[in-house]
Structures are given as C-alpha cells and as structure tokens.
Amino acid sequence: MNSTKKKYKKGAVLGAGSFGTALSAVLASNGVEVTLWAREPEIIDGIQSNRRNPVYIPTLELPSSVVAQAELSKALEGAEFILIAVPSHAMREISSDIAPMLRGDEVVVHVAKGLEEGTFLRMTQVLEETLKGVIPNDHLVVLSGPSHAEDVAEGLPTTVVVSCLSNEVATRVQHTFTNERFRLYVNPDVVGVEIAGAVKNIMAIAGGVSAGLGLGDNAMAALMTRGLHEITRMGMAMGGQQDTFAGLAGMGDLIVTCSSEHSRNRRVGWRMAHGERLEEIIESMNMVAEGVKTTRAVHQWAQENGLEMPITAVVYGMLFEELDPRAAMDSLMTREPKNEINM
C-alpha cells in the first residue's frame, strides 16, 4: 500500500462535545483505536457505563473501541494523531497544556472554527506558537466544512475538507476519517479553509435574524451570497485562494450554517430577532456559538485593515451595541448602491 494511503491506527480526541463525540464514532467505525478525553465526570461515567455521552448527543451509542479518559496525559499515550475538538477560545490553553506531553511525531488535527480575539490568529497559527519546537508546522491539520455533529452522529452523508502544509499528512488523515458516510477532500489552502470556517458563523447569525424576522427566502439568499462575498474578500486579503471559498469550506459550510436548525449561530440570531438579549441566549446554551466571539475579532480586524464588511458590521452592532435587529437588516438594504462585481 502507498504510504500516503495508510490509516492512522490510534488517536486521541480532546473534547467530548457534540463534534468530538461524533467524530470519535466515525474513527472507531473505521477501525481506529480512540481515546476520548473529557473534563466532565458525568461524560466519562456515561461512556464507561453505557457507551453514551449523556450531555452531548446522548442517542449515539459509541463503539467499544472508544475509551473515555479524564487524565490528559493518559489520553495522549500512544496516539499517532490528536484531534482537538474544543472551541477556538480554548485552543491556546489546551494546546499549551499538551505540548510538554507530546513525543513530537504526532499529527495534530483541529476542527475549531474561529479566530483568536486580540491576536486575530487562525487556529493553526495558535498551534504554531504553542507547539513550536515540539510539532512541525507540516503536522498541523484543519478539518472543516458542512458537518453538523447531529447528522454525522446519525450516519447521514457528510463531506468536508482536510488541509495541511504537507499533502502526505493531509492524505493520510483523509484516509483515516473517510468512509461510506463521511468523505474528505484534500485542500492545500490552510488559510482559506480556516477563514471560511470562522467567518461563515457571523453570516449565520445574520441569517438567523433574517429568518426570525420573517424576511423571506429572497433576503436569506441575498445574505448568503453577499456573506460569501465578505468571507472571500477577507480570506483573500489574508492570503487564501479564491476557489476555496466556492468549495465545501466556504459555500458549503455557509449554506448549512445559515439554513439548518442545528446551527447554534443561526439560533442566536433567531432568538435575538425575537427580542432576547445576548446574555440570556448565551447563558441558556450548553454549547458554544463560535460566531459571537468571532464577530468581535473580525469586525476589529476589518476596521484596522480598512476592509468593508457591512454584514459583519451590523451583526457586531446587534451583538455588542444594542442595534435593533430590524434596523440592522434595513440598514443593509439602504446602503449606497454599488456594483456587484468590481469593474
């Protein structure tokens, strides 16, 4: 067998939320030995006693080859690859914690979709800093695309992308995860894949507001299309490739996040459109809506770099400046008329 087509045999999944749990099941079904690390004792107990995560996707029965572990160092023992499935704001902490525990030959895959507040760093850039001198940059991988955990857990067809500086590493990750229900494509554009995954969450909040206000299908189509334009402009300004934003990491993820009832970010917008305050919404959710923090980071970056991002600006206003949702949507329609395509 070609070396790039060999599957990894043992992995550690750090984070037993919905996606970490669902991907553990995917890997186990592919014959991978998985250790799933979680902080919560009730999750460890639930998986050990009845093969279910009682907090996230409790309907999913995990294969026996998924072992729950509360101790981080033990979870990492013997792992050929490490899948970090925590929110973007926790990436620096968890990767700093594991750095002294690693051998140095592991591959580190992440599935977070956000930018670090204050630094505007993408997640692989955070990993480059925290794992410097331990894990080479061409062993850092991002897995992204339209992949709500609920569908993955049910075994519904899902297609995503894997991106890495090393095509050999990316291809090996591809073959480790891919099966008849979970398909990966390799995309070498790490920058574009990460920016697309982060910024689409902002557009999903706007989509939720539009749906919550009952603005109709035309408005949703416009938001998604112009949202993709904003994502592409920012991504290309940061070094991403245009084609990436028309693919699974860009358009694909944008469509599912703006239209699905499973979307946490869309849910935030929907609830704001119905008069709920952001603090109340966040407090009531047991899962993180990445778009809230990402909006603050992207809005600040756009202002500092002189990039016009009107949808991001109104979402920022709704989240942090008490801008009325209907007034926000109206403001997008009353902007100065422009060309759709730069001429």
Annotated catalytic sites, by residue?
A: 200
Residue in 158, 147, 255, 252 with CA at minimum distance from that of residue 204: 255
Residue 21: count of CB within 10 angstroms of its CB: 28
What CA–CA distance (Å, rounded) separates 21 from 153? 8
Strand ranges in 58-174 using DSSP code E only, listed in sequence order? 66-69, 81-84, 107-110, 140-144, 158-164
Pairing of strands 107-110, 81-84: parallel
> Token pair of 56, please?
């996230």
Find residue 11's DSSP bridge partners. Answer: 34, 81
> In Å, how far are 81, 134, 144 from 8, measured between CA atoms?
7, 20, 19
Pairing of strands 182-186, 107-110: unpaired
Torsion of CA 301, 306, 311, 313, to 10 degrees: 60
Backbone angles phi, psi at 143, to 5 degrees: -115, 125
Residue 191: count of CB within 10 angstroms of its CB: 19
**For every residue of 162-192, which 3-state class applies, written as one string?**
EEECCHHHHHHHHHHHCCCCEEEEECCCHHH
Under 8 Å between Cβ of 309 and 199: no
Find residue 141's DSSP bridge partners. Answer: 109, 164
Residues in CB range of 342: below 8 A, 6 or more apart: none
